[in-house]
Amino acid sequence: MSKLINITIDGKKILAPEGANLLRVAQESGIHIPSLCYHRKLSPTGACRLCVTKIKGTSGLVMSCTVNIKEGMEVIAFDKEIEETRKHTLDYLLAE
């Protein structure tokens, strides 16, 4: 059994197995981060780029499907920059 650690996603405190996939932890905690390419039985690729988030203490956006959680991690899943990035990414994916 994996050690349980504490993380925070948009202010919600979550207890989850150390090293678990961030996107999956969010989904299992009732936080819907959009994604088209993630499947828990496949290796994450970050191909669709819709699951972008921010991790406090790091710069830029990261694909949550490619991140393994660490103790004390603070994640921002929704803010204006993230929403705009997702909108532009989806527009690009749907363009003919």
Who contacts 16 (Cβ-Cβ below 8 Å, separation ≥6)? 4, 5, 7, 25, 28, 29, 69
What are the structural domains, with CATH classification, of the chain? 4-94 (3.10.20.740)
Who contacts 75 (Cβ-Cβ below 8 Å, separation ≥6)? 7, 8, 9, 10, 22, 26, 53, 54, 55, 56, 64
The pLDDT tens digits for 34-83 are 998 877 777 777 789 999 999 999 999 999 999 999 999 999 999 999 99
According to the model, what pLDDT value does residue 42 have? 72
